[in-house]
Amino acid sequence: MKPILTTTTGSYPIINEPLSTNWQVSVQLAVEAQIEAGIDLLVDGQVRSDIAGLFAPVLGQNKSNGKANDTEVLPHQIKVKITPQAVDSRALIEDYKYAQEVARSKGRTDPSDLKAHITGPVFLAESCRITQDAPYRLPKTLTGDYDVDPDLVYDIADALTSVVREYRAAGAKYIQIDEPSLAYSSKEKMEVTLEALARLVRVDPQATWILHTCGNIQHQFSDLIEKTPPALKVLFIEAAHLREMQNVDEALLSRTQRQIMYGCIPVNTGTLPGTQKLQRELAETVNRLGPKNVFGVSPYCGLRLSTPDHAQQTMHLLTEAARVLG
Ligand SMILES: [Zn+2]
């Protein structure tokens, strides 16, 4: 039996920001580190920026004044309508392809071994500062219910579809959508989220789609599992919250034909669980959910804020713990 698949959430520690713009060096370090640790499904490390900043060019806002870097303060300053035609995904695809090259040079010959990442449209919309003349409604309050303009979310989702197509053309089989802010979502926000996810996944239902969320999605999970397109096959749950989600079991996952990406190692806490404890937890979880319903295991979240040493220890712990299930 094959051991359970291991992967990371997407980001690798910041190594040479902001002085160097030699991104290839950073991508290479990120990919080599994962291969050294024995990670199965690789990522390019999202080395250029955080997950909001990384997708700023995708929103196509810089063409109106020709300046390349006026998004520095806030990743997404929205001035004009977001359209798929204005999307600039060169940097994303360049890094993805370079990561493939590095992986190949290290003996990883399957180009689909590299997971592509899309920052979710809801999170991107929430990272936007909308200018007065932008064709979107300005957020009303900071504390009210969901107040991001749904049209902004949907336009971002539609723009992201062209990035999806490019990743697929580059050979990506696995596409992960990162929506870190879904925990505690209102009903209204969930409705917008479900529509945005559907627009993305519909572009290419043949891809293996993975949804990453952060924190406690206990109250959002039934919507995600029952109301997203079946092509969004893999849903993420953190170990700390799976314990409380007793309704998530083998029967539910088999009926809905979903799989769980199991986040099993906390990040940014400075400490790591012991190997044996983690192995025991993994075995229990796989037993509870059913082996075929567990897509893979990963840390809770991205490693961007870890040190390279700590990231390496985290990845080693993950692959070592996953090995016992083989
Ligand atoms: Zn996360």
CA of 301 to the centre of ligand 1 (A): 4
**Percentage of residues in the chain having pLDDT higher than 70:** 91
The Å distance, Cα 135 to ligand 1 centre, comes to 31
Residue 65: pLDDT band (50, 70, 90) is very low
The rounded percent of the chain whose pLDDT value lies above 90 is 78
CA 314 – CA 38 distance, rounded (Å): 12
Instruction: Provide the pLDDT for residue 138.
Output: 85
Q: Given this model, what pLDDT does residue 70 score?
A: 45
Answer whether residue 15 shows pLDDT above 90.
no
**Looking at the predicted structure, is the pLDDT value of residue 18 above 50?**
yes
Q: How far is the CA of 287 from the centre of ligand 1 (A)?
A: 24
Domain ranges (residues) in the chain: 5-89+106-256+264-323
Share the mean pLDDT of the chain: 91
Local structure of residue 178 (DSSP, 8 states): E
Residue 58 Cα, ligand 1 centroid: separation in angstroms?
21
DSSP string, 2-28: PPPEEB--SB----STTT---HHHHHH
Q: Please determine, for residue 71, whether its predicted confidence score (pLDDT) is greater than 70.
A: no
Give residue 186's identity as a one-letter amino acid code: S
Of the listed ranges 44-48, 128-132, 193-197, 253-257, the least confidently predicted one is 128-132
Task: Determine the distance separating the centroid of ligand 1 and the alpha carbon of 165, expressed in angstroms.
Answer: 24
Report how far ligand 1's centroid is from the alpha carbon of 302 (Å): 6
CA of 308 to the centre of ligand 1 (A): 18
Report the distance separating Cα 306 and Cα 13, nearest Å. Answer: 6
Q: For the full predicted model, state whether its pTM sits above 0.85.
A: yes
Q: Tell me the β-bridge partners of 174.
A: 208
- The span from the CA of 196 to the CA of 23, in Å, is 31
Q: Ligand 1 mean position to 10 CA, how many Å?
A: 9
In this structure, the chain runs to a length of 326
pLDDT tens for 87-96 read 999 999 999 9
Say if domain 5-89+106-256+264-323 classifies as CATH 3.90.1150.10: no
Average pLDDT, integer, range 207-232: 96
Round to whole Å and give the CA distance between 213 and 210. Answer: 10
Give CA–CA dist 24/111, Å, rounded.
18
Q: What is the pLDDT of residue 68?
A: 45
